[in-house]
Amino acid sequence: MSHYLLSGYAEVSPQVLKDRLKYPSSGCFLVQGMGPLAVHGHAKFGRLLFAHGAGAGQQSFFMRQFVTSLADRGIQVLCIDFPYMQQMQETGKRRPPPPIAQTLAQFAEWYALLDSLFEGPLWIGGKSMGGRVATLFASQQLASEPSSSTVPGVVVAGYPFHPPKTPHKLRLEHWPAITCPMLILQGERDPFGRQEEVEGYALPANAQLSWLKDGDHDFKPRRVSGLTQTVLIDEATQVAASFVRAYSQDLKEESNTLV
């Protein structure tokens, strides 16, 4: 039996998923042909498709805490594991992610499926690599799928502005093509983009940065700061929930229903 079935994920077809999502508001599903989907919370103020980072999936400590805290604030979060991460979970062996274009295509498949199920807008985002994938999707959506619904916004926890120790290799070339609001939650000491580095970049006006005091890439502060990772994650989700809510004023309670 697979890792996910043993972890309590219910196997369903994409066609059956719509009915299963009607109740309860939270649940874990192994969608045939797609992979694991975990639904957290109730969409009181918004709904977010949130992808994991390169080295840890949706069941990592950071993802669990971030997603739970965000769901408690009225944002329903839908978490996925990309195929390479599914293989890591099944075999217990680490493996690198595939080329980013492949992961982007997989993210697009999930978005198309989930966006078709719900009445309200579906935000996108992710942790680190997952956040980069989300921004790439937002930058390409109108050009590649002009008939699809527009992504309302992006939320990223720890954007990988550049690989550690190679600050000249920036990953920002696609940002000018993003027209929706973006929120980047970033630790001040993040080796993928420290505050003193990022503040020197020419970023588009629709990108809002929220700095987490003394935090690293996983929002872990040094002990001398007097803060904890839990405190910084809670602060980050408070900012994220307020951001989504501010740009979703027309999202009514009825949008929690399925199409």
Given this model, what pLDDT does residue 145 score?
52
Given this model, what pLDDT does residue 213 score?
98
pLDDT digits (tens, 9 = 90+) for 215-258: 999 999 999 999 999 999 999 999 999 999 999 864 444 344 44
Percent of the chain with pLDDT over 90: 76
Q: Return the closest-CA partner of residue 79 out of 45, 102, 56.
A: 56
What is the average pLDDT value for the chain, to the nearest integer? 90
Could you tell me which residues are beta bridge partners of residue 124? 49, 154
Whether pLDDT at 147 is above 50: no
Given this model, what pLDDT does residue 253 score?
42
pLDDT digits (tens, 9 = 90+) for 158-206: 999 999 999 999 999 999 999 999 999 999 999 999 999 999 999 999 9
pLDDT digits (tens, 9 = 90+) for 72-90: 999 999 999 999 999 888 8
Whether pLDDT at 48 is above 50: yes
Q: Judge: domain 39-79+95-253, CATH 1.10.10.10.
A: no
Residue pointed to by tokens 């195929």: 83
Whether pLDDT at 30 is above 80: yes
Of these ranges, 1-15, 19-33, 142-156, 188-202, the one predicted with the greatest mean pLDDT is 188-202
Domain spans, the chain: 39-79+95-253
Whether pLDDT at 13 is above 80: yes
Given this model, what pLDDT does residue 148 score?
53
Region of poorest pLDDT, from 18-22, 116-120, 168-172: 18-22
Confidence of residue 142 (pLDDT cuts 50, 70, 90): low
Confidence of residue 69 (pLDDT cuts 50, 70, 90): very high
